[in-house]
Structure formats: structure tokens, C-alpha cells
Structure 1
């Protein structure tokens, strides 16, 4: 049986440029059950994002918006937008590791 990922529970997972120095990612969850998983601080927190994107944990900001079933995550870009080594000028591909984050164990029970 294939793993369930955040993308499976979301209507949309996207990332975008939030100015030349920040990346923002948004999880638009399909329903309240999916939102409970995405908003669960024991599952998705600053440490997880820091490890996933190799950024400092203290720079990660997570905003949980229960009325919209949305989780928004922001962190500084590793390189300024448009700099010589910037390979994703609009931060349009940053969401892929987040979307692929597997839902395991107790989080799956929240969904069912």
C-alpha cells in the first residue's frame, strides 16, 4: 500500500516568492481532518521544516489558519532572488519536498 502524503490530503500545496529574501509555502487542506494533521505541531513544526529545507530552525515561521484549513510556512531564501546561483527564481518548486512528506502512525488515525 502506498504511503499517504500531505499532497494526498491537500487541495493544493504551493510555494511562491515572498520577496527577494523569503519563500512562502501554503497547504490548502481538503477538509478539517486533513487540516488537523497538517496543523499538528508534533507532526509539522519548525524543526521538521528546517531539516527538510536545510534552514535555521529559528528562522522558520508557521501560521495555522483553522477557519480556512490552511497552513502557511515561511523561511528565508538560501540565496537572494535572481542571484548568480539562484536556481528557482520564483520559488515555484520549493513545495515539492513538503508535499511529499509522509503521513504516518498516529497522524493517519486523525485522518480516518
Structure 2
């Protein structure tokens, strides 16, 4: 069965991790769904790189935090926060590529 991430997560957000990095947070509603996603490693550097049109090595880390049923993804920002041309100084609008991601359960 496939579901969108928005059907499975109660929180999908992004924010600055530093002026040069962005963090994506996904907090699942259901423990079983979280465990299935964690077990199958559906969030990996290749998937995130493809979603964000970046190189795989620009995805710094993917951390599964089981006590919170959460996944934290850290990636390089395409531009430093606040520099000329930056359209999202706080990194708060960068989670959109995750919203229509399909997850296999």
C-alpha cells in the first residue's frame, strides 16, 4: 500500500540548521508506520537528493529518532541564509518537495 507522507506524518517542516545547512523534520503519527519506514530505509540520501535536485553528497545526514517517531534530514543550503538572492532566510518553506512523496507500507 502506498500513502503520501502527509497522510502519515503529523509534522513536516524545514528550518535553518545553520546559515549553510537546512534541516527537514518529519514526525510520524503512528509508531508502526514510522517503524516500517525506518526498517525499509525509504529516506536515504539518493531519494532526498533527487527530491531537492542536489548532489547526493550535499545530503549531510539522515537521523532516525525513534523516541519521537521522527526523522531529521540535514542538507546543504543552495545559498547561505540571508545572502543576496536568498528567497527563504529562515529555511521555513523548504519542506514542500516532501509533501507529495509516496511511501510504501
TM-score (norm 1): 0.83
What is the Cα-based RMSD across aligned positions, in Å?
1.4
- 2 CA distance for matches of 1:93 and 1:38? 24
Unaligned runs of 5+ in 2: none
Structure 1 residue runs without a partner (length 5+): none
Instruction: Return the structure number with greater strand share.
Output: 2
Residue-by-residue CA offset, 1:39-97 (whole Å, 9 max, x unaligned): 231x2210000011122212311000112100000001000111111111111111111
The change in CA–CA distance for 1:37 and 1:93 in structure 2 (over 3 A counts) is farther
Matched residues in 2 for 1:96 and 1:37: separation? 23
After the TM superposition, which segments of 4 or more aligned residues of structure 1 sit over 2 Å from their partners?
Answer: 36-40
TM-score, normalised on structure 2? Answer: 0.88
